[in-house]
Amino acid sequence: MKASSEQSFGLYRKYSRFPGLIIAYVWHLADPARAVTYALTYSEALQVAEAMGWTATSSWIEGGGYSTQAPSAKLIALLERHRMTPKAWWQKITEPT
C-alpha cells in the first residue's frame, strides 16, 4: 500500500517480481471526505506508466522507477478506472487478471 496525505503515484520495476501483487494507492488520508483508493496490478500500473511516458525517462531506465506527488489530469484520468469501491475491491481480489 502506498499512502499519502495528499496525492502520490509511482511505480518501481522491483515490484514486477511479485506475481499477483496488487498495489493500492490511498490518497487524502488527512481528509476522509476526500479519501480515494486506486488499486492496480503491476501490469496495470506499468500500462499507466507507459501511457504517461515514464518508462522512457532516465528515472525509469537508470533508477528503476518513477513517481510524482503532483498527478496531472491525464494521470488521474488513467487511474479513474482503477478507483476502488467495495464492489471493485471484490472484483479486484477475486477475478483473474
What pLDDT, on a 0 to 100 scale, did the predictor assign at position 49? Answer: 97
What pLDDT, on a 0 to 100 scale, did the predictor assign at position 97? Answer: 59
The domain ranges of the chain are 2-94
What pLDDT, on a 0 to 100 scale, did the predictor assign at position 4? Answer: 79
Q: Which residue has the cell 518501481?
A: 12
- Tell me the per-residue pLDDT of 72-88, one tens digit each, with 9 for 90 and over: 999 999 999 999 999 99
Q: Where are the alpha helices (H) located in 17-57, listed in sequence order?
A: 42-52
What the block records as the C-alpha cell of 14 is: 522491483
- Tell me the per-residue pLDDT of 16-66, one tens digit each, with 9 for 90 and over: 998 789 999 999 988 989 999 999 999 999 999 999 999 999 999 999 999
Tell me the whole-structure pTM to 2 decimals: 0.89
CA distance 9 to 18: 19
